[in-house]
Structures are given as C-alpha cells and as structure tokens.
Structure 1
C-alpha cells in the first residue's frame, strides 16, 4: 500500500470514530486538532497534528501552538511533546492518530502533573485605572427627560409626517397580565 492509500484509510477511520466528538476537529484531510480534557479544565490542551507526504512511514508533525494552549508553560509543552514523540517512534509505519489521541487522554494527568497555569497580566498605571473607572461611571449615568420632553418624543413624526414604526405596538407582557381567567378562553 502507498502512503496516500494508508492516509485515506486512516482518514476514513478517524472520521467514523470521532463523528460527533466535539474534541476532534479536521482542519484539512492531512491536519487535525484534538482537545485533551474538558474546556473548563485548566489541565486541558489541544494537539495539532499534521501528516507529512510520506506519513505513516514518517512521523506526523505534532504541535501545541494553538491559542488554547497559551496558559501552559513552555516546560510542560516540551514534556508533552517529548512523551508523544516516544509514542510516535513506537508506532512508526502504522496508522497512529487514534493511538496518539487515546494515549494522551489516558495519560493527561501524568503529562500535566507539574502544570502551573501561566498568567499573563499587563501592569497599568494608577492614572489609567482611575481614568477607566471615571469613564465607566460617566457612561452609567443617563440623561433624565422631563414629562414634557417625553410627550414631544411620543408625538414626533418623521420627515413624511408619519409616526415612527412601532408607536402603536402593544406590550405583550402587559396583555398577558391583564387577560381574563383561564376558563373564559374558548
């Protein structure tokens, strides 16, 4: 079998195995993403895997460069990649995507045991903080209209002399509250 035939068979198998699985994403016929762990889990990560032309005889390209993985330290990423490379070497020459994904799921705790989430925070000066706080307060305050101003708004017409769209609409919630008894409806 040629490399292309092996790839087509493995692609078909992956599509059937992971059909409806929200963790698996096919980027292209030779590029995939698989999320290990739940979205809310701080130890979750996404594997990006791409097949070179001669895959499975040559190793797939595995990466942890997805934005989702920004909270993972470089040391932890390197550990995950080195452990996955060991699995690739053991399975070289065979269809290994399912094996890699399942191995990563089973060993997620061991791979992420030294994981400490990376926190990226930007320092701002105290003047910037007070400026944003004061503009937030200004936005919260809305101008109050007098009764006379509200009446003028209600009777305002557009340039054709027509009332604005919806001026005579009825509030459905108020109708529901003022409706008759349940027995009256027939």
Structure 2
C-alpha cells in the first residue's frame, strides 16, 4: 500500500472512532488536534499532529504550540514531546494516531506530574493587580462646571472665606432670637 492509501484508511478510522468526541478536531485531512484532559483541568493540554507526505513511514510532526497550552511551562512541554517521540519511534511504519492519543490520555498524570501552571497577568493599571477598583469621577453638567469656574480664581482655587457665614447677619439673628425668649 502507498502512503496516501494508508493515510486515507487511517483518516477514515479516526473519523469513525472520534465521531462526536469534543476532544478530537480534524483541522485538515493531514492535520489534527486532540485535547488530553477536561477543559477546566489545569493539567489538560492539546496535541497538534500533522502528517508529512510519507506518513506512516515518516514520523508525524507533533506540536504543543496551541494557545490553550500557554499555561504549560517549556520544561513540561519538552517532556511531553520527548515521551511522545519515543512512542512514535516504537510505532513507525504503522498507523499510530489512535495509539498516540490513547497513550497520552493514559499517561497524562505522569506527563504533567511536575507541571506548575504558568500564570500570565494582563493588567491595564497597577490598581487592578492589587484588586482595588478605580473610583469614577462624578460627571458634572455644563452649568455645574460654569458655577465652579465662576467661584474660583484663575488657579482653580476657591477664594478665601467663600464658605464663611455672614457674621453680622448671624449675630443679628441670634440676638433677635434671644430677645424673643
């Protein structure tokens, strides 16, 4: 059988085995993704596999460059790739996609045992990193702004005594109140 016939047979087998499986995704007739683990699992990862022209006589290209894998450290990715390459060498010359996917599922714990999630924090300001919320400024109307401007001097400061009580008026009112009593 030629490499193309082997690929077609394996492709047909993969489609029937993984039909309806949300972990398997056929990118093209020679490129596939398979998620190992549940979406919420911090130890889950996605395998990208692409068949070269001479597959299965030649090894498939295996990648962990999917965005989903950004939380996995480079050391852990390297370990996964080296272990998968050992499996590829053992199965070279035969249809191995199903074998690789199932092997990765069965060995997920050992592949990810030294995994410490890589955390990347994207923040727009230092306040959001500390958990503080920014206070919104009160929105003023044009007339409110005009009143403030009319009360302030050229530096934007209120004149001295702007909120003082009219002492004479106040004394007069208190004097009247005491006479009435």
Residues 129 and 46 (structure 1 numbering): CA distance in 2 closer, same or farther, change over 3 Å?
Answer: closer
How many residues are matched? Answer: 139
What pairs up with 1:47-58 in 2 under 5 angstroms?
Answer: 47-58=47-58
- The C-alpha deviation readout for 1:108-134, integer Å capped at 9, x for no partner, is 000000000001124665478899713
Residues 2 and 121 (structure 1 numbering): CA distance in 2 closer, same or farther, change over 3 Å?
Answer: same
Q: Which moved more, 1:79-88 or 1:118-127?
A: 118-127
Residues 113 and 53 (structure 1 numbering): CA distance in 2 closer, same or farther, change over 3 Å?
Answer: same
Q: How far apart, in 2, do the equivalents of 1:93 and 1:126 lie?
A: 55
TM-score, scaled relative to structure 2? 0.71
| Structure 1 unmatched runs, 5+ | 144-186
- What residue number does 1:73 align with? 73
CA RMSD of aligned residues (A): 2.5
- What residue number does 1:40 align with? 40
- What residue number does 1:117 align with? 117
Specify the SS of the correspondent of 1:84.
helix
2:32 matches 1:22: no
Residues 7 and 138 (structure 1 numbering): CA distance in 2 closer, same or farther, change over 3 Å?
Answer: farther
- What residue number does 2:107 align with? 107
- What residue number does 1:133 align with? 134
What pairs up with 1:149-168 in 2 under 5 angstroms?
Answer: none
Q: How far apart, in 2, do the equivalents of 1:128 and 1:12 lie?
A: 50
TM-score, scaled relative to structure 1? 0.69
Q: How far apart, in 2, do the equivalents of 1:109 and 1:8 lie?
A: 32
Q: Which moved more, 1:120-129 or 1:51-60?
A: 120-129
Q: How far apart, in 1, do the equivalents of 2:102 and 2:127 lie?
A: 51
Q: How far apart, in 1, do the equivalents of 2:98 and 2:49 lie?
A: 12
Q: How far apart, in 2, do the equivalents of 1:108 and 1:13 lie?
A: 24
| Structure 2 unmatched runs, 5+ | 142-181
Larger radius of gyration: 2
Specify the SS of the correspondent of 2:134.
helix
- Conserved? CA contact 2:37–2:45, under 8 Å: yes
- What residue number does 2:9 align with? 9
